[in-house]
Amino acid sequence: MGRGWQLWILSAAISSFLATSSASCVVEFETLTYDNFRGVCSGHGECSNVTNLCTCEDGYTGRSDWLNTEGLDCQLNKTLVLVFWGINAVFGILYQFKTLPKMLERYREFREKQKAFAAQGKPIAIHQNRGLIAILFYEFWVLPGLIICAITKFSLPDERVGITPFFTFLFSFVKIGFYWGVAYMFQPSLIKTLLQSGSLKRNKKVQRLILVSDAFARINCTASVLLSLTPWITVANGGELNGTAEAAWVIYFAGSIISLMTYNVQSFYLKSKIKAVLSTIVSSNKSSGIAQTQAKLIKMQKTIIGQTLFQSCLYGMFLFWPYLWNKHDYFLPLSWLAFIVISKELAESHVSSGGTSSKAQVGAYTTTASNSKASIEDGSMNLLSNQTSMGGSMTAMRTPAPPSAPVIDPPDMEDAL
């Protein structure tokens, strides 16, 4: 019964909106705006007796993302939209400069380890290091895309998602970069490494779970990428306010809520797995490096959990409250701050090597050739070596063994499941 009422309310809202979408600015636009107490055109413009459309005063517009209400209303404050994008750009540039040196350090360390394995006849290509690729996505795809979006809004203020091709392309570009890099490259690699720790790697159930996790990541990433392309439906439709635009809007926001909640569940599971697996090693090895790594990784998962819950609530408001349907211009720059925050946590989810060079650790890697090689290929945090989920190094999880020393697996952690 509860679900039936929700569907009825949504259908009623959609029907009401469609009935008013092509009407004049005088009366019929009431259902969508809820701003009639401010007067015609929301009190920020005049309704022409000739065209029966709103002519907005300076600083206001009805031109909006997705559901374009240009000529029907004057609700959007242009200055406020630019302020939000300005905040987005400032944080994007700040974190670009803050995380770039760390990314370069990780790349150099990976190159050293790559050369060490090449000398053993075990070449590893950079595209195999999914963790490092994820941080490259962040530095050279997501952050630049966010900054370009902000610059575009200041230089071409009439650009809109789902209305104009250029800004719609930027919207899809940033979304695809984030979900492909962070959600697909990073998270599955970390799950795989944790579940292959110690004796867990010999457990058939664990191996099946890894396969399920990888498949889930591919499906979820594909869904997110497809959702990022939905505004092209309205672009192809000429940016008109009609049933096609309405359908694209509902598909995008409903699909995004489902996608966000699946990411939330994935991060919640990963957080518990990090805590269970690494706590076992910390208790046996008394390693401050592992404890520090555990804290950083758990912090990142908590950030993702919090952000996905918050974003889901916002997406729900925009889906079910018609008043917000032409306010996406406010929502987009603020919601994309989450991309910066989550990606920053990803970039910093390692512990400094504390001056221990990668070259000094080659002996330890050569004694665990198959295990360490797999870690570098994943770019994930290897519990037996010093490789992290981002392809960088961290404080030694164990004392590096001399070249001839045997490798001792961590204690049995099957109970961690």
Q: What is the mean pLDDT of the chain?
A: 73
The pLDDT score that the predictor gives to residue 200 is 57
What share of residues in the chain are helix, strand, coil (percent, to 5)?
Answer: 70, 5, 30
Question: What does the buried/exposed string (b/e) look like for 115-148 if buried means 16 or more CB atoms within 10 Å of the residue's CB?
Answer: ebbeeeeeebeeebbbbbbbbbbbbebbbbbbbb
For residues 94 and 195, which has the higher predicted lDDT (pLDDT)? 94
Residues 225-281 have pLDDT tens digits of 999 999 999 999 998 888 899 999 999 999 999 988 988 888 888 788 777 777 766
- For β-strands 54-56 and 60-61, DSSP reports them as unpaired
| Cα atoms in the 13 Å half-sphere on the side-chain side of 411 | 13
**Phi-psi group of 247: left, alpha or beta (phi > 0 → left; psi -120 to 50 → alpha; rest → beta):** alpha
39: left (phi over 0), alpha (psi -120 to 50) or beta: left
Structure confidence at residue 101 (pLDDT): 84
pLDDT of 76 reads: 92
Q: Which two tokens stand for residue 53?
A: 């459309």
Instruction: Please answer whether residues 133 and 184 qualify as being in contact, where contact means their C-beta atoms are separated by less than 8 angstroms.
Output: no
Two structure tokens written together for 105: 């350090």
Look at residue 205 in the predicted model and tell me its pLDDT.
64
Q: Which pLDDT band, with edges at 50, 70 and 90, does 181 fall under?
A: confident
Q: What is the pLDDT of residue 268?
A: 86
This prediction's pTM? 0.71
Nearest to 122 by CA among 364, 358, 361, 374: 374
What are phi and psi for residue 282, nearest 5 degrees?
-60, -45
Q: Does the structure show a pLDDT above 60 at 358? A: no
* Cα–Cα distance for residue pair 18/241, rounded to 1 Å: 9
The DSSP annotation for 226-281 comes to HHHTTHHHHHHTTT--SHHHHHHHHHHHHHHHHHHHHHHHHHHHHHHHHHHHHHHH
Q: Which amino acid is at 248?
A: A
Q: What is the pLDDT of residues 360-370, one digit of tens each?
A: 333 333 333 33
The per-residue pLDDT for 285 is 64
| pLDDT surpassing 50 at residue 129 | yes
The better pLDDT of the pair 228, 339 is held by 228
- In the chain, the amino acid numbered 41 is C
Please say whether the beta carbons of 206 and 417 come within 8 A: yes
| Overall average pLDDT of the 76-84 stretch | 95
Residue 250 and residue 14 in contact, taking contact as beta carbons nearer than 8 Å? yes
Could you report how far apart the first and last alpha carbons of the chain are, in Å?
Answer: 38
Residue 194 pLDDT? 65
Give CA separation, 338 vs 45, 176, 240, in Å. 34, 15, 30
Q: Is residue 123 predicted with pLDDT exceeding 50? A: yes
Where do the structural domains in the chain lie, given as residue ranges? Answer: 2-61, 359-416
DSSP-derived pairing of the beta strands 54-56 and 45-47: antiparallel
pLDDT above 70: percentage of residues in the chain: 65
